Structure formats: structure tokens, C-alpha cells
Amino acid sequence: MVGKQKGGHQEQEPFTILIHRFPAFNLFFCTSLREHYRLLDPHNSPEESVHSYLSREAQKVRALVCVGHTPLKSDVLGLLPSLELVVGSSAGVEHIDLPECRRRGIAVTNAGTAFSEDVADCAIALLIDVLRRVSSGDRYVRSGLWPKCGHIALGSKLGGKRIGIIGLGNIGSEIAKRLLAFGCSIAYNSRKKKVSVPFPFYANVRDLAANSDVLVLCCSLTNETYHIINTDVMKALGKDGVVINVGRGGLVDEKELVRSLVGGEIGGAGLDVFEDEPDVPKELCELDNVVLSPHASVLTPESFEALHDTVLANLNAFFSNKPLVSPFPNE
């Protein structure tokens, strides 16, 4: 019943939701959404331009679901005069024109905690992999080198490592929880010191790097965090230091990262995201102290199911005038 306009005892038309997506992106749970809402999707009218479709169909649309990282900028927002809610389907919302949403009072939600555990698992996997050479060992065995060359080089123990987490939100907190079980110590950087958190806070990323063996990136990409990992930070991290990025490619100055890795100025990297995805710098593909993952940190059925629940819960809350379940603090 939720999501239907009700008048007395008579059910009326369902509310209308605009699906905003790259033509190649499909929202996997449209079928389920359609049980509750009327969906508008410009790409289901391929003979018509998006502009003319929206101008005709979407003047009264109050809520939009933005699929994946499809950019949602002023060109589209300007065609939606009644828009009140943008439901994002990813953890990061850097592809959404947040200042324009703020100006117009349009609420924005993100994936909330739907992906947090899977992304945290991915961060831990990349970290142990870099330290203990798992992918590299797998290549070694598959290439038939083990019988010829014997043991691989020593790795490095995870326990006892000082881990600097950049962005201690849902994902960062899940990462910290896991790392404590491995015997690591945690410190963090984020926009603000968190009162409820027992870990040391560093306001400055360079200082965090200087006091860490590993930096894990899991913050939002914003103007403030763009290239937050630069040459200075990597120098402070040092030649045995490891960078793990499960946030966004733009958090790292990738050219400098490649230079530092090739030059041995840092010890290794585990990367699920890149500045120019799906292109990955060729130099990285030749390094054995790097683990490369094709932006796969949320690619599980469990994450998708949780996302479905979060998107639906946000829409239901909005149309019932209840608090959104995962509002993005667009301050």
C-alpha cells in the first residue's frame, strides 16, 4: 500500500518516479519499484530526446532515482521544476550537482549503509593482499614458477600495523571494526573529530600519513578531498607505506601515485577505483606490489538487495512525509 496516493478508502494512481540513468545503466530492481510506483524513463522512448521527454512528462515529478554514477547536473535539474528528492543509488554523490540541489531545497539521499560491509570487506582483502602478496602468489603458482624458483619473497604481517583511515563514516567504521580483530591500531582523518570514536584523530592527512603504515581511503570525493593523497602525503607515508583506495579515483593524484610506486617511494597499493575508469595506468599493471580491482567493491547480490531496500525505504518515507532513511548531509 505504501507509495500509493490514498483518498479516503479509494486508492488512486501511484506516485511517479523519474529514473535518471546512462542509457547503458539499468536499475536492476525496476521491476520491484514498479510494483509501488509509476516509473518514467526517458530511455524507454529512444526516438525522443531526453530534453523533450522531460519537458513533456516530468513537470510534476517530485522524486528522481539516479542510477549509479549517472551525472545529474543543472541541465536536467532545470527541466524538473517540481523536484523535491534525488534518491542516489551509490555511496558517493559527487556526480550530483549538490550546490544546485541545496539552492533549490532538493533533498539528496545516498546508498546509506547498503554497501558499507561489502566495501569494507573489499578494503581488507586488498590490504592483506598487498601485505601478504596473495594475487602475486596466485600469479606465481599459475605461471608454474613455484617448482622452479621456490618460496616467494616474504610478505608483511597485518597485525600491529598502524592504519590511518581517511573518512570514518559507515564504511570506515566497518573497516576499523575488522582491522581491530586483526590486531591493528587505528587512527583517522575526517571533516570533524568524532566524539563517540576512541581512535586518535588527525586534522591533517600528512600528519596521519606520517604516523601510519597504511592509509585507507573511504571518504567522499569533494572539492576538499580531491587529490587528498598527493606527493607530500606519500612522502610522509614512506617507502614501506601502503595506500588502499575503495573511495573514488579522484581522491588520489594517480600520476604521482604511479611515480611513487614505480620509484619505490611507497611500498604498495590496493586500488578498487581509478581516476579515469575503466582505464588503468599501464605502469600499475606491471607492478607486483599493487593489487588492481575493477571497481568491484559493491558487486554482490547482497549489496544490491540492500540498495533496493534503501532506495525503496527513502521513496516510501518521502511520500509518507516521514524522515528519509539515508539523507546526504548537503550542507
Name residues whose C-beta falls within 8 Å of residue 28's C-beta, 6 or more positions apart in sequence.
304, 308
Residues that bind its own copies (CB under 8 A): 117-118, 121-122, 124-126, 128-129, 132-135, 137-142, 144, 146-147, 150-160, 177-178, 180-183, 277-280, 285, 291-296, 299-304
Partners of 201 in the beta sheet? Answer: 188
Q: Write the burial class of residue 154 (CB in 10 Å: 0-12 exposed, 13-18 middle, 19+ buried).
A: exposed
Residue written as cell 556526480?
95
Decide: 37 and 60 in contact? Cβ < 8 Å. Answer: no
CB 228 within 8 A of CB 256: no
Residue with Cβ nearer its own copies (75 or 277): 277
User: In sequence order, which residues have a C-beta less than 8 Å from that of residue 145 and are 6 or more positions away?
Assistant: none
Cβ 252 to its own copies, closest distance in Å?
16
Nearer to its own copies, 117 or 254 (CB): 117
The question of whether 308 is a catalytic residue gets the answer no
CB atoms closer than 10 angstroms to residue 206: 17
Which among 43, 104, 227, 295 is annotated as catalytic? 295
Peptide bond preceding 278 in cis form (omega within 30 of 0): yes
| Shortest reach from residue 135's CB to its own copies, in Å | 4
Q: List b or e across 296-331, with b for residues whose CB sees 16 or more CB atoms inside 10 angstroms.
A: ebbeeeebbebbbebbbbbbbbbbeeeebbbebeee
Question: Which of 38, 51, 139, 277 is the catalytic position?
Answer: 277
Nearest CB to its own copies, comparing residues 225 and 297: 297
Q: Residue 3 or 112: which CB sits closer to its own copies?
A: 112
What is the nearest approach in angstroms of its own copies to the Cβ of residue 153?
8
CB 165, min distance to its own copies, A: 15
Burial label, 67 (beta-carbon count in 10 A; 0-12, 13-18, 19+): buried
14 vs 68 by CB, closer to its own copies: 68
Nearest distance from C-beta of residue 238 to its own copies, angstroms: 17
Instruction: Answer for the pair 89, 111: CB distance below 8 angstroms, yes or no.
Output: yes
- Tell me the closest approach of the beta carbon of residue 132 to its own copies, in angstroms: 6
Q: Is 178 a catalytic residue?
A: no
Please say which residue, 144 or 329, places its beta carbon nearer to its own copies: 144
Distance CA 25, CA 59 (A): 23
Look at the block and give the residue holding cell 494512481.
Answer: 13
Name the residue type at position 258: V
Catalytic residue check, 295: yes
Which stretches does DSSP call E strand in 68-129? 85-88, 107-109
Residues labelled catalytic:
248, 277, 295
